[in-house]
Amino acid sequence: MNNIYNFTRKQLEEKLVCMNEKPFRATQIFEWLYRKNVKSFDEMTNIKKETIDQLKKEFDINRLFIEKEQISKDGTRKYLFRLSDGNFVETVLMCHEYGLSVCVSTQVGCNMGCAFCASGLNKKQRNLEVFEMVLQIQMINDILNKENKRVSHVVVMGIGEPFDNYDNLLSFLRIINDAKGLEIGSRHITVSTCGIVPKIIEYSDFELQVNLAISLHFANDEKRSKYMKINNAYNISELMDSIKYYYSKTNRRITFEYILLKDINDSWEDAKQLIKLIKGINCYVNLIPMNSTINEFTRSTEEKMNTFYKMLINNKVNVTLRKEQGHDIDAACGQLRIKQMQGAVCKD
């Protein structure tokens, strides 16, 4: 049966019309699901019994199961959700001055194979369905409700490549942005991709003003191809062309993410190449301290990170050096899921 959280309001309206129901019921149902956070159709008290029975026949309303919750000293919380097929998905909640931000996963595992990333150590098992993405936020809202708080920001930067699960991503974005849905402002949402060029081009026509971030990490093809497989399919010049196209269509400033990896991409020369590459592009650069993972990469020294940062500042680049959160709870993508799976292997 189809999960009710899979549907955008428009899709639900169409479905209800097919069921001989009034389309406005979709708005009522959305309010119950996303505002009042009900767990069953029976709680939807302004809908008549016969319709409720019909809804129960058409849709299931199952949620995710919380397998594990970890709370960091800095307030970051990490959740491991179990899906109905036994797979696991990770979601992180970060507390910022400007609000509460959730980092959503889009796939079980990832096929992009970036060498420094824990998410890709396990190949993609499958795409997440829309409801499995929406509910990562809604399950956390459930917990936050008790503290009179709500998720205000979403970053699609968890496990998986969002543009490799494109159609579900768009429905997810429509639902969380909907004024009758989770009502998360489009400028409070950021989607991050490692650079699937045809999808960046397609995404330029998406109707919502959602932010786009590109995991660049390297400013020359030789290095990028060595550590990020995607660069063999779409090189830096093709990537930059697609970004310029995206900007020409949307007028939205892009964010480049750049993880600082010790002795790999943190030299003066690397900074110079980066400055040259992004010259003239309306962008932010987000420098990210490498999160320790279970592979051979380590983070740059404080000194190197600061020098890199200053060099960009001096060249008038809009840049931030991201503060790391949740270090004590394995908040880096993929780590918790990997531990759970290793645990499962050991137990067998």
Residues noted as catalytic: 90, 333
SS3 of the chain: helix, strand, coil, percent, to 5: 45, 20, 40
Residue from 130, 288, 319, 329 touching ligand SAH (CB under 6 A): that is: 288
The stretch near ligand SAH (CB under 6 A) out of 108-116, 248-256, 262-270, 337-345 is 108-116
- 21 is an interface residue for ligand SAH by CB under 6 A: no
Q: Answer yes or no whether residue 116 interacts with ligand SAH by CB under 6 A.
A: yes
Pairing relationship of beta strands 153-156 and 189-193 according to DSSP bridges: parallel
Q: What is the amino acid identity at position 93? A: L
Residue with token string 């400033």: 253
- Minimum CB distance to ligand SAH smaller for 332 or for 336: 332
Joined together, the tokens standing for residue 184 give 């998360």
CA 37 from chain centre, in angstroms, equals: 22
The answer to the question of residue 117 lying near ligand SAH (CB under 6 A) is yes
Residue closer to ligand SAH, measured from CB, 6 or 165: 165
Q: Given candidates 61, 157, 173, 239, which one binds ligand SAH under the rule CB under 6 A?
A: 157
Residue 338 touches ligand SAH, criterion: CB under 6 A: no
Q: Both tokens of residue 212? A: 């786009």
Does position 290 bind ligand SAH by CB under 6 A?
Answer: yes
Q: 72-77 contacts: CB < 8 A, separation 24 or more?
A: 72/325, 72/326, 72/327, 72/328, 72/329, 72/331, 73/328, 74/325, 74/326, 76/325, 76/326, 76/329, 76/331, 77/140, 77/329
- Return the residues of window 241-260 that contact ligand SAH according to CB under 6 A: 257, 259
- Say which residue the tokens 């009900």 belong to: 38
Question: Taking the complex as a whole, how short is the minimal distance between the CB of residue 83 and ligand SAH, in angstroms?
Answer: 18
Cα separation of 178 and 143, whole Å? Answer: 21
Query: Whose Cβ is closer to ligand SAH: residue 51's or residue 291's?
Result: 291
Indicate which single residue of 3, 293, 300, 325 sits in contact with ligand SAH (rule: CB under 6 A).
293
Query: How many positions of this chain bind ligand SAH (CB under 6 A)?
Result: 18
Contacts with ligand SAH, residue ranges (CB under 6 A): 112, 114, 116-117, 157, 161, 192-194, 215, 257, 259, 288, 290-291, 293, 332-333
